[in-house]
């Protein structure tokens, strides 16, 4: 895994122990991962110096290597996409049909797993912290089964990893937040993954 030992410090390739998946978790062999601006921002930030060493990355595609107790939606060998905001399918936000801000599997900011508030990574018996409960800058990652989506094995892994955050954020901004409709005039500032995804949706004028 590419491990950050401190804020802004260069990532170092390290041998990391990855624990087996716990209940309702899966362990994914990461095939492709992309880098998001938020990875860079949090790597540079000195706001949480105690959350190092840390493995960043949250946009990943891969193959399910093992499944934990109680997992029914995934089997070993399934192709999967990680998501950093999951769905428990039972809290008021998940059942509302209007929000994806799950109360159980929402954005994780403490560097641990949602289920038991511990890490699945370690070096020499000492914990290595997660990022967004994904940590895709690693050959293997353990995620909650509600923080992954099964995808077709025909999908190109090196491209669909962008759907984990950047592409879905852009499309969601256009569809759900801005509510862009036919005939709308829209200007997009920036042409990263988010901006390009908005422009693909609407054929908008970009700058």
Q: Any idea where the domains of the chain sit in the sequence? A: 2-157, 168-200
Q: With cut-offs at 50, 70 and 90, classify the pLDDT of residue 2.
A: very high
Beta bridge partners of 87: none
d(CA 44, CA 96): 36
Question: Yes or no: is domain 2-157 CATH 3.50.50.100?
Answer: no
Determine contact, residues 73/150, Cβ cutoff 8 Å. Answer: yes
Determine contact, residues 189/195, Cβ cutoff 8 Å. Answer: yes
Average pLDDT, the chain: 89
pLDDT at residue number 201: 58
d(CA 24, CA 76): 14
Determine contact, residues 204/186, Cβ cutoff 8 Å. Answer: yes
């Amino acid at each position: 895994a590419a491990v950050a030992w401190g804020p802004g410090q260069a990532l170092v390739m390290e041998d990391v122990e990855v624990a087996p998946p716990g209940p309702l978790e899966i362990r994914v062999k990461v095939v492709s991962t992309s880098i998001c601006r938020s990875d860079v921002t949090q790597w540079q930030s000195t706001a949480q110096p105690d959350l190092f060493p840390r493995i960043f990355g949250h946009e990943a595609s891969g193959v399910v290597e093992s499944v934990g107790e109680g997992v029914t939606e995934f089997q070993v060998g399934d192709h999967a996409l990680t998501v950093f905001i999951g769905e428990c399918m039972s809290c008021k936000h998940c059942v509302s049909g209007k929000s994806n801000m799950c109360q159980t599997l929402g954005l994780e900011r403490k560097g641990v797993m949602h289920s038991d508030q511990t890490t699945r990574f370690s070096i020499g018996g000492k914990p290595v912290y997660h990022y967004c409960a994904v940590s895709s800058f690693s050959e293997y990652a353990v995620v909650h089964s509600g923080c992954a989506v099964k995808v077709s094995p025909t999908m190109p892994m090196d491209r669909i990893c962008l759907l984990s955050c950047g592409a879905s954020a852009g499309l969601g901004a256009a569809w759900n937040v801005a509510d862009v409709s036919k005939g709308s005039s829209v200007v997009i500032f920036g042409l990263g993954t988010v901006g390009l995804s908005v422009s693909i949706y609407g054929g908008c004028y970009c700058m």
